[in-house]
Every structure is written in C-alpha cells, then in structure tokens.
Amino acid sequence: MSSDDGSDGGRVALITGTNRGSGLAIAEELRGRGFRVFSLNRSLAGADWLGERRCDVSRPAEIRRAVAGVLAEAGRLDVCVSNAVDRVLDPIADLREADWERLVAINLSAGFHLLQAVLPALRARRGIFVAMGSHAGTRYFEGGAAYSATKAGLKALVETLLLEERRNGVRACLVSPGAIANLDGDDDPYKMSTRSVARCVGSIVDSWPTDLVVGEIEVRPAELATPPIIGIDRLLHV
C-alpha cells in the first residue's frame, strides 16, 4: 500500500467532479486506500491533496490539456473515475436546447474524451476505467429525457470499452447507483450515503481480483420507499 500523497511512486487515480458529493467521497476513499489522487473540476474545492486541475469537462480541449498535465506530473495512471455530472429534469416539451446539449456534453461526451485521453496510460498500467452511471439509464421517468438518455449512452460506451480493451489489460466498470444523498443536509432514509457509494467504488478498483471484470454493478438503497411516486422519485423504488 502506498502512502497518502503518492510520494513513494504508488498508485495514481484521476477523478472528475470531486468538489462535493459522491465525487469528493470517492476521492477521499481512494486516498485512504493509498492512491495519489488527481481531480478535474470546473470549480475547485481547494484541498491540496485533491491534486486539482481546473477543467470544464464539457470542453474536450480542456480535458486533453488537464490529463496531459496530470500524466506529466504523476508519470502513471492506475484508475480513472468519470464522475462529473449535470442534471436537468424538464419535460421534453419544455426542455431547452442548451440544457440538452450541456447534459450530453458533460454526462456522455466528456466520458468519451476523458477515456481517449487516459487510455494509453491505463493500458500501460493494466488499469481500470470506472464510469458513474445511474438507474436512470435503464429506468425512465417523466422529466428525465436528457438525464436518462446520457446515462443510457454511458452504459453503451463502457460496455464497448470492455469488449475492445480487455485484450490490452484495461478493465472497465459502470457503477449504476440508485438514489444518493448527494446534497449537504440530505438525510433521506431512502437514499444511499455518498460514503457508501465511495466504498463500493474503492472496493472495485482496489480489492476485487484482477483476473475478473465486472462490466456493470448496480447498487440500491437498503430501504424502499412506499409508492405511489412519479418522476425521478421513481428511482427510490428500485
């Protein structure tokens, strides 16, 4: 196990969207497991150990530039977690074109551009790429057209990556959570904590045998809400 700051040349993880919520929890979890953590954030959290690079992941050139900087400093990459996300919940009739395009750029296209930028480094380390999906990618709801469509596309991207890159030693996993208490002060008993989701990701990248691949894993809250519910709250029922 390497030291927290990676000064011994230990394992390196790159995570997008770590300034709060589950992204920050994943970064903390991997740091606790001995990874040197680097982050790509549009808004910086300000913690030195996060190894932050300012990056708007909706802009491919910024992703490429930020990843190049991380690789130049770290010299290797063992884990990449595509976590940055945006969400707009409007009916199709009311959904603004700009919102649709932004969600596609952040939730789906950013994962593709990130993957292309880190793939050579992951091949070199026989590393793992983890994308944070959602139950919304397979369980649709009113107002969720943009969010669900991007999460469904992410599932296809990760599965294709697995088929193409397994021969090169690169593993891929889509983590598809149900409802997460991502906002400060959210103590809804029907949602998972960010810490619990982070522990799941940490186990996948650090503890699971390297001679197997889990292409997708679903995680659900232990408590089940009582119907009837519509809209995104349907995800509290699976």
221 contacts 192 by C-beta, under 8 angstroms: yes
Question: Within a domain: residue 2?
Answer: no
The answer to whether the Cα torsion of 45, 99, 103, 199 is positive or negative is positive
Read off the pLDDT of residues 145-185 as tens digits, 9 standing for 90 and up: 999 999 999 999 999 999 999 999 999 999 999 989 988 88
Question: Within a domain: residue 88?
Answer: yes
Q: Looking at this protein, which amino acid is placed at residue 4?
A: D
Read off the pLDDT of residues 106-155 as tens digits, 9 standing for 90 and up: 999 999 999 999 999 999 999 999 999 999 999 999 999 999 999 999 99
Give residue 237's pLDDT band: very low, low, confident or very high (50, 70, 90).
low
235 contacts 141 by C-beta, under 8 angstroms: yes
Question: Which phi and psi angles does 53 have, rounded to 5°?
Answer: -120, 125
Read off the pLDDT of residues 2-28 as tens digits, 9 standing for 90 and up: 334 443 459 999 999 999 999 999 999
The CATH number for 64's domain is: 3.40.50.720
Candidates 147, 158, 178, 204; catalytic one: 147
Question: Within a domain: residue 24?
Answer: yes
CA dihedral 205, 207, 211, 213 (to 10 degrees): -50
Let me know if 190 is a catalytic residue. Answer: no
pLDDT computed for residue 5 by the predictor:
42
Question: Within a domain: residue 6?
Answer: no
Q: What is the mean pLDDT of the chain?
A: 92
Question: Within a domain: residue 1?
Answer: no
For residue 19, what are the domain limits? Answer: 12-237
Question: Within a domain: residue 7?
Answer: no
Question: Within a domain: residue 218?
Answer: yes
Query: Which parts of 57-196 are beta strand (E)?
Result: 79-82, 128-132, 171-177
Question: Domains in the chain: how many in total?
Answer: 1
Question: Within a domain: residue 5?
Answer: no
